[in-house]
Amino acid sequence: MRRVLFAANWKMHLGPEEARAYLKTFRARYNRRDDRDVWFFAPAVSLEAAAQAIRERGDLLVGAQDIYWEPKGAFTGAISAPLALQAGAKATLVGHSERRQLFGETDDDTRRKVAAALASGLAPLLCVGDTLAEREAGHTTAVVTRQLAGGLSGLDGGALARVVIAYEPVWAIGTGRNATPQDAAAVHREVRAWLGARGAPAPRVLYGGSVNVKNAAELLAERELDGVLVGGASLDPDAWSQLVQTGAA
Ligand code: PGA
């Protein structure tokens, strides 16, 4: 059975109290379904509250939005994979385009973060994506492949099989423009081929960028999409509970 992954990226929204209230509403609106998983990437300060709020729901999972690669030490402001784990996270985003563009994160940083996540037992969700200029210059494949190689080099097939990939064209994030299902699928096939050639033939590949309750069905009808990573449209628990039921019988 196809198991679709709906991942919410709350970005810099929803503190602990708000996260608790959100998840209470969400739990009331959405009952477990075996054909989908729902993940919440919460701000670091809300991880524990969010993890507590979903502890009786095995179909729901909380993740961090970023980690630093060192396990502990004098790194003011950063959180490590073991700290995120202690707060209840089971996954982490790595290399979100906002981290790359606003915080100067490099491909090599993403490699260290993916490795740190895997070493501690957090599932890494590596984000890759092209800018509009890169797409228009025909460089989408080169950029995505460089980000995959940069973030995942040195991992064997077993480790790669634990990594989830999100293709998020930068020009589609928070802009109201999204890739067509066909455009997304073409990149997803390349991601799959890249991982397949390195011993991970069945990766989970999500699409992200201005996904909402109106366009999710059309996107998810494309079988190359194993799920979606959603920012803005995940911030309201009613709207998000509707979105995660996309395609439900
Ligand atoms: P968006 O964000 O859904 O608001 O476009 C997606 C993301 O950045 O993960």
Across 117-130, average pLDDT: 98
For residue 190, pLDDT beyond 80: yes
Which protein residue has the closest C-alpha to ligand 1 atom 6?
A: 231
Domain range 4-243, CATH architecture: Alpha-Beta Barrel (3.20)
Q: Ligand 1 in contact with 243 (CB < 6 A)?
A: no
Cα of 225 vs centre of ligand 1, distance in Å, is 16
What is the atom index within ligand 1 of the atom nearest the CA of 166? 9
**Per-domain boundaries in the chain:** 4-243
CB–CB of 7/125 below 8 Å? yes
Q: What is the pLDDT of residues 44-89, one digit of tens each?
A: 999 999 999 999 999 999 999 999 999 999 999 999 999 999 999 9
Helix, strand, coil percentages for the chain (3-state, nearest 5)? 45, 15, 40
Q: Ligand 1 in contact with 208 (CB < 6 A)?
A: yes
For residue 36, pLDDT beyond 80: yes
Write the DSSP symbol of residue 122. Answer: P
Spatial separation of the C-alpha atoms in residues 113 and 213, rounded to whole Å: 32
Would you place residue 189 in the very low, low, confident or very high pLDDT band (cuts 50, 70, 90)?
very high
Task: Residue 127: name the closest of 139, 109, 42, 3 by CA.
Answer: 109
Report the interhelical angle of 107-120 vs 140-152 (nearest 10°): 50
Spatial separation of the C-alpha atoms in residues 163 and 166, rounded to whole Å: 10
For residue 249, pLDDT beyond 80: no
Q: Ligand 1 in contact with 158 (CB < 6 A)?
A: no
Q: Is the pTM of this model over 0.95?
A: yes
